[in-house]
Amino acid sequence: MLFQPENTAALMALGLREKQTSSERPDWRQALPMASPSACLRAASFSGSGIPSSSHPLRVARSSAASKAVRIMVVAIDEGHNESHRHPSTNLEGCRWIYRGARQVPEARRSVVMSVLSRMCGAVMAAVCAAGMAQAAQGPHVVTLSHTFEPPRASALAALVARFNAASEKDHIALHDAAGDATQAPTLMVVQSGEVAALQRARRIRPLHQVMAQAGFALSRAPGSAAYAAGTVDARGRPLGLPIGLHTPLLFVNRQAFREVGLDPERPPHTWHSLQDALGKLAEAGYACPYTVARPSWVMLDNVSARHHLAVTEPAGRAERLSVNGMLQIRHVALMASWVRARYLHLFGRGVEAEQRFARGECAVLAASSASWPQFVQAAGFEVGVGELPYYDDLPGAPGPTLADGASLWAASGKSRNDYRTAARFVRFLLEPENQLYWQRTTGFLPLNSRGVFVRDTVDMTQPNLRVASQQLQLGPKMRRVTASTLPNSLAVRTIVEDELDRVWADIQPAKQALDNAVERVGAVRE
């Protein structure tokens, strides 16, 4: 026995029994992973009959040279490795668990533990436990994560942060609402798509692929066919930020309203012509608001263009310029203006009020973000159908994929190595499959795989919004994805475009003039 009789009082103070029979001693491999001081000490007190003497972690540590043993333990403690090419994994694992157990010892009992361990196995293991206790006194390394999510999604993020903190001994995340506390200097930031360009110009970020690589975690380069939020990858496809809020516009329909007017709710209109016919039937049946759109310019210009393989920007030297005044864009805005005049289309500002109107049953059809689905499930008092964003079937090559957009997670520049290590561990945690499954179900956002890339294989196909969105984002044969740009998402550009569109809806100017004005005004601002 490693314990001597004079240690009995100390063991009793730690909650261990004075005597144990061999039948009462559990297998040491089961005791060690309990990660408590009692479990570690109990494992150390086993007789040789229960443990191979050559693999008992305390015996190995006691018999090794001090410098060599400390080196083994440092690897096990600091890096958490369970295997080593130079030493048996059981030795490392034993040291690791005893260290973790020591960290959990209440402060009032630490002197007792140190006394027992010093007599039991000498200075080496006592030093290990002392290190564990010291780190416990210091607490985990904490970094701040700021965000501007609304309450439902903020709650989902808070739940994941709480799960990470509960599972991690070395690292914790402190969550802050950036909208309510601008004094924080976070290590991690959730940034909305309209803020990405300004963040990059200010050189306030450290590329995420560097943060992850330094911590030993690899992220994949985004292939040319991948859907990603604008600005989140560099020219070589390396991730700059993590697109945790990916979404794309879809068509949502009130299934009950469709049935009442003889439309098939299982097959929402897939072309603009067939949607116009459906809206006519809804209007004739007395629906005051047949159709509405959330974030009108994003849907009507950015994504209708992408649906037909057109970008809304074009190269201009080393920069780019807005390009929303082509034939397709003019045609579509003119059609939408005619729907406004016919009372088919009702617009409720530049944000997402249209989603609330649809959820209350005021409007029968809505074009909005795929991530709106959880809100409709909770708030709508009717069945909601989901379809792809319509397209013009008389144009060649249609339909193409829409754009992926949304909030992304970024690492701030100028932080410490420990800050980045904690940040990398949290990112790796977010990308675990079970966490991505929770995230997509609660937020409606599209999931990422363990390497940080959206792939259809990770989608929960039981969620209709995610199933349809992932299908709509897929490239067809010989298609090229329209390159996403941060330019149209910037607040200044979006405001100019929406200003000009508002004048179209008010019947003050025609579609072509409005879009020409938008291009000219944006060009003047950027010069």
The pLDDT tens digits of the residues spanning 390-418 come to 999 999 999 999 999 999 999 999 999 99
Q: What is the DSSP string of 209-270?
A: HHHHHHTT---PPPPTT----TTSB-TTS-BSSB-TT-B-EEEEEEHHHHHHTT--TTS---
CATH topology match: 141-246+405-472 vs 249-402+490-526: yes
Q: CA–CA separation, 453 vs 242, rounded Å?
A: 9
Q: What is the pLDDT of residue 130?
A: 56
Residues in the chain: 527
Q: Which segment, 11-25, 230-244, 350-364, is predicted with the most confidence on average?
A: 350-364
Give the distance between the most distant pair of CA atoms in the chain.
96
Higher pLDDT, 195 or 98: 195
pLDDT in tens, 226-259: 777 888 999 898 999 999 999 999 999 999 999 9
Give the residue-averaged pLDDT of 196-207. 88
Average pLDDT of the chain?
80
- Residues 463-501 pLDDT 10s: 999 999 999 998 776 677 887 788 999 999 999 999 999
Average pLDDT over residues 432-452: 95
CATH architecture of 141-246+405-472: 3-Layer(aba) Sandwich (3.40)
Q: Where are the alpha helices (DSSP H) in 289-416?
A: 296-297, 304-307, 327-341, 353-359, 373-379
Examine the pLDDT at 23 and tell me if it is beyond 70: no
Tokens (6 digits) for 175? 């969550």
CB 281 within 8 A of CB 263: yes
pLDDT on residue 220: 86
Give the burial string for 180-198 (b: 16+ CB within 10 Å, else e): eeeeeebbbbbbbbbbbbe
Assign domain 249-402+490-526 to its CATH architecture.
Answer: 3-Layer(aba) Sandwich (3.40)
pTM comes to: 0.74
Q: What is the mean pLDDT of residues 290-300?
A: 98
Highest mean pLDDT pick, 8-12, 113-117, 207-211? 207-211
Helix or strand holding residue 144 (H, E): strand 141-147
Q: Is 475 exposed, middle or buried (0-12, 13-18, 19+ CB in 10 A)?
A: middle
CA distance linking residue 208 with residue 413, whole number of Å: 10
pLDDT digits (tens, 9 = 90+) for 135-190: 555 679 999 999 999 989 999 999 999 999 999 999 999 999 886 444 467 999 99
Is the pLDDT at 78 greater than 80? The verdict is no
**What's the rounded mean pLDDT across residues 433-439?**
97
Confidence check: pLDDT of 214 > 60:
yes
| Distance, C-alpha 440 to centroid of its chain | 9
Domain boundaries, the chain: 5-138, 141-246+405-472, 249-402+490-526
For residue 177, the model assigns a pLDDT of: 87
